[in-house]
Amino acid sequence: MAPKIKDVAQKAGVSVTTVSRVLNGEKYVKDDLKAKVKQAIEELGYAPSHIARSLVRKKTNLIGVIVPDLTSSFYSTILSSIEETASLNDYNLLVCNIIEDTDKELKYLNVFHEMRVDGIIIMHEKLSDEIRSFIHKLDIPIIFSSVRPVDHKFISVIIDDYEAAYDATKYLTELGHERIAFLGGDMRDVTSGQNRYVGYRNALKDQRVRIINDYIRFGDYKTQSGYDLMKELLACEPRPTALFAVSDDMAVGAMNCIHDHQLKVPDDISIIGFDGSQLTELVRPRLTSMEQPIQDMGKITVNTMIECITNPASSPREDLILGHKLVVRDSCKAYQQER
Amino acid sequence: MAPKIKDVAQKAGVSVTTVSRVLNGEKYVKDDLKAKVKQAIEELGYAPSHIARSLVRKKTNLIGVIVPDLTSSFYSTILSSIEETASLNDYNLLVCNIIEDTDKELKYLNVFHEMRVDGIIIMHEKLSDEIRSFIHKLDIPIIFSSVRPVDHKFISVIIDDYEAAYDATKYLTELGHERIAFLGGDMRDVTSGQNRYVGYRNALKDQRVRIINDYIRFGDYKTQSGYDLMKELLACEPRPTALFAVSDDMAVGAMNCIHDHQLKVPDDISIIGFDGSQLTELVRPRLTSMEQPIQDMGKITVNTMIECITNPASSPREDLILGHKLVVRDSCKAYQQER
DNA sequence: CTGAAAGCGCTTACAG
DNA sequence: CTGAAAGCGCTTACAG
């Protein structure tokens, strides 16, 4: 078995209290004792048990993270940023990948609680009633990252989805498009679903572009649904000349569908995505997208979390709204009357 | 604070021992007591502290995972499979994303040790001497997944990289190609680097296709390096008619480079990738690839790990070699003499 | 500056 | 079938 503090104490000829003191960098330990202890630690290859420490300190330095889909380019990037920031601050991540599996989510939330994590970061917003009531009972910081649940007990780190969708749509109108389709997400989502949809509608309204219901479809943010819905849109008569998809994944799915139908982006149809994920640079043509500050989002989520953990009094009571940015690449072009 | 076992005992009017017994599903507890305890647990919303349990059980049900890059399509997929299998078996994951950062890796390995994780899964093979000696001292199961380090103290779950690369290259020769380029990985990698390279060479040799050193380049498995190296290859005179890239990411980078140079895949150059990641279906043309059984790899890694943890005696002493499979999509075509 | 003792929240022989 | 007590590996008043 791994050596324990007692072994170190014996070897160094001091009490465990003294060993504990040098372990925790306290002053008030004579230099010679400190040296002896350090040597004993070295020789034994001793590393204190985080488990035992957590028990007495009542702090685990663990943060539970709930991700909807690890393989998504958006979530894996934000998770990566979360991990980096946590690591920098000596926090560790317990990661749960829930694939639309409410039972698994509830089970993990229970595990997080049993593990006595110091805080929980959640990246999806379709909370079941059971889950909602469970997390309401927890008395640890819970922060939503990149999404916002309906109840306002918890803080979110997000962008202004309405504005972002508005700006994305407006960009297409400014290119002269008048038949602009919309690939939306789940309307039960307060954030990405509803706000982005309303942003799209209002932008068209304000720009005096006709809203055509047949051009509006809802999916699940994933590539496949983008592909399938695009197929439907291509059947519209006349077909749209531009498309705003509320995720890059959907946008890429749509691009692929268009390609498979022997049409061209952006010549036949302009496309703008949403998220600014790595995909935008991977596809051809490169995808113009409304970019979320993914890196910052992860970083700020963790920093806020740590602030909440270490100083509950000063923790923010309001959502943190980050800026969005249109990044123009090659998937949109001005609408040409003559074709 | 959260209620403890003592609170439950008091409320139910029994000893903590009895509460512990019903918690752990032991028999030999009278039904009426059991009922009382269960009710007390319910009313208090009690959940046992995993921390305290771990301390006495000397088992944390934690598995540390070291990933080279969370945002990579390959690793996020395998991690996702690892997570799923672990969760099914009531194990939790401590995830560390090392981005070529040896210091971070060592730090995390230390954390894993302090956390007393039950086992460690590592997904990269370029071990520094310091790290090597550290993990050699650990007396918990360590399994390498999808990679194989030089020393054979540890088990790997992998495919036969030599055979897979051989088969991929052979496929191109069978399509009639005679100028077949190679985009390799880091030659310090025992697995993906060296074996795949030798597989490529031997396939060409056996098929009596000339090996042209100028067509052979080494990168780092990532998209950007695929792009950059392809640029070099395009400058070759005559240029290759086919390419085998040892990762899908590199293959996609190469495809993009070809596209940006106004050439066509597969008409001008055929490309075969390696991994069978999600990217293969995302790009156009869809990428033919030598597929690793990514899902199985994750699953088998975890199952083997759990076997090692629970039954050290019966744990395998040899690498687990899984099968590879060529998946033909649209990025390769037969070589036409007349062009 | 140093150490003996209590305690963190559990489980597990041991005794009854 | 049930409970008192010891112990898991630490930290932290408390006393000296």
CATH of the domain at B144: 3.40.50.2300
Check whether residue A143 and residue A212 sit in a common domain. no
Which of B236, B166, B237 minimizes the C-alpha distance to B207? Answer: B166
Check whether residue A177 and residue A148 sit in a common domain. no
Q: Residue B150's pLDDT is what?
A: 82
Q: How far is the CA of B184 from the CAs of A101, B247, B248, B276, in angstroms?
A: 39, 8, 11, 16
Strand order across the beta sheet in which A62-67 lies: A320-322, A155-159, A142-145, A119-122, A62-67, A92-97, B92-97, B62-67, B119-122, B142-145, B155-159, B320-322
Mean pLDDT value across chain A: 94
Q: Which amino acid is at A10?
A: Q
Distance of CA A8 to the CA centre of its chain: 43
Query: What is the nearest CA distance from B311 to chain A, expressed in angstroms?
Result: 17
- What angle (nearest 5°) sits at the alpha carbon of residue A325, between those of residues A323 and A330? 165
Which of B52, B41, B51 minimizes the C-alpha distance to B11? Answer: B41
Task: State mean pLDDT over A153-180.
Answer: 96
Q: How far is the CA of B54 from the C1' of D8 (A)?
A: 9
| Residue B311 located in a structural domain | yes
Query: What is the nearest CA distance from B256 to chain A, expressed in angstroms?
Result: 7
Q: Is the CB of A5 under 7 A from strand C?
A: no
Asked if B160 and B227 count as a contact pair (C-beta separation under 8 A), the reply is no
Cα(B251)–Cα(B229) distance, integer angstroms? 10
Task: State mean pLDDT over A59-73.
Answer: 95
Q: Is the CB of A50 under 7 A from strand D?
A: no
Kindly report, residue by residue over A186-198, the tens digit of the pLDDT.
888 878 889 999 9
Q: Residue A337's pLDDT is what?
A: 67
| Residue B88 located in a structural domain | yes
Signed CA dihedral, B25, B31, B37, B43: sign only: positive
Residue in the block written with tokens 């994303």: B97
| Residue A111 located in a structural domain | yes
Check whether residue A168 and residue A272 sit in a common domain. yes
Which stretches does DSSP call E strand in A149-210? Answer: 155-159, 180-184
Check whether residue B172 and residue B258 sit in a common domain. yes
Taking CB atoms and an 8 Å limit, are A278 and B47 in contact across chains? no
Which of B73, B88, B239, B135 minimizes the C-alpha distance to A252? Answer: B73
Q: Which two tokens stand for residue B283?
A: 């790009």
Check whether residue B203 and residue B272 sit in a common domain. yes
Per DSSP bridges, beta strands A62-67 and A119-122 are parallel
Per DSSP bridges, beta strands B288-291 and B325-327 are antiparallel
Find chain A residues with C-beta within 8 A of B47's C-beta: 110, 113-114
Kindly report, residue by residue over B91-129, the tens digit of the pLDDT.
999 999 998 899 999 999 999 999 999 999 999 988 899
Check whether residue B92 and residue B172 sit in a common domain. no
Q: Which two tokens stand for residue B132?
A: 């090597």
Kindly report, residue by residue over A158-167, the tens digit of the pLDDT.
999 999 999 9
Task: State mean pLDDT over A311-317.
Answer: 85
Q: Residue B339's pLDDT is what?
A: 47
Cβ partners under 8 Å of residue A235, min gap 6: none
Compute the count of residue pairs across chains A and B with CB atoms less than 8 Å apart.
121
Kindly give the parts of chain B with pLDDT less than 70.
337-339
Task: State mean pLDDT over A103-129.
Answer: 94
Residue B80 per-residue DSSP state: H
Find chain B residues with C-beta within 8 A of A104's C-beta: 87
Asked if A105 and A66 count as a contact pair (C-beta separation under 8 A), the reply is yes
Nucleotide nearest to B18 (CA to C1'): D2
Cα(B191)–Cα(B274) distance, integer angstroms? 13
Cα(B44)–Cα(B46) distance, integer angstroms? 5
Q: Is the bond into A238 cis (omega within 30 degrees of 0)?
A: yes
| Residue B332 located in a structural domain | no
Asked if B218 and B212 count as a contact pair (C-beta separation under 8 A), the reply is no
Q: Which amino acid is at A281?
A: E
Cα(A255)–Cα(A269) distance, integer angstroms? 9
Check whether residue A248 and residue A132 sit in a common domain. no
CA nearest to nucleotide C11 C1': residue: B56
Task: State mean pLDDT over A90-96.
Answer: 96
Per DSSP bridges, beta strands B62-67 and B119-122 are parallel
Cα(A21)–Cα(A13) distance, integer angstroms? 14
Q: How far is the CA of A84 from the C1' of C1 (A)?
A: 40
Q: How far is the CA of B105 from the C1' of C11 (A)?
A: 34
Structural domain including A24 reads 5-48
Q: Residue B337's pLDDT is what?
A: 67
Q: Is the CB of A236 under 7 A from strand D?
A: no
Check whether residue A308 and residue A230 sit in a common domain. no
- What angle (nearest 5°) sits at the alpha carbon of residue B212, between those of residues B265 and B290? 45
Element (H, E) at B65: strand B62-67
Check whether residue B193 and residue B281 sit in a common domain. yes
Asked if A95 and A63 count as a contact pair (C-beta separation under 8 A), the reply is no
Total count of domains within chain B: 3
Find chain A residues with C-beta within 8 A of B302's C-beta: none
Cα(A192)–Cα(A274) distance, integer angstroms? 10
| Residue A56 located in a structural domain | no
| Residue A330 located in a structural domain | no
Which 3 state secondary structure label does DSSP give A321?
strand
Taking CB atoms and an 8 Å limit, are B95 and A95 in contact across chains? yes
Instruction: Please tell me the total number of residues recorded for chain A in this structure.
Output: 339
Taking CB atoms and an 8 Å limit, are B95 and A83 in contact across chains? yes
User: Range with the lowest mean pLDDT among A147-151, A171-175, B133-137?
Assistant: A147-151
Q: How far is the CA of B34 from the C1' of D2 (A)?
A: 12
Residue, of A217 and B27, whose pLDDT is higher: A217
Check whether residue B185 and residue B225 sit in a common domain. yes
Check whether residue A177 and residue A209 sit in a common domain. yes
Mean pLDDT value across chain B: 94
| Residue B36 located in a structural domain | yes
SS3 for A289-326, per residue?
A: EEECCHHHHHHHHHHHHHHHHHCHHHCCCCCEEECCEE
Check whether residue B166 and residue B278 sit in a common domain. yes
- Asked if pLDDT for residue A125 goes beyond 90, the answer is no
For the entire predicted model, the pTM comes to 0.94
Q: What is the CATH number of the domain that holds A35?
A: 1.10.260.40
Q: Using 50, 70 and 90 to split pLDDT, how confident is the model at A40?
A: very high
Per DSSP bridges, beta strands B320-322 and A62-67 are unpaired
Which of B56, B224, B317 minimizes the C-alpha distance to B48? Answer: B56
Taking CB atoms and an 8 Å limit, are A83 and B92 in contact across chains? no
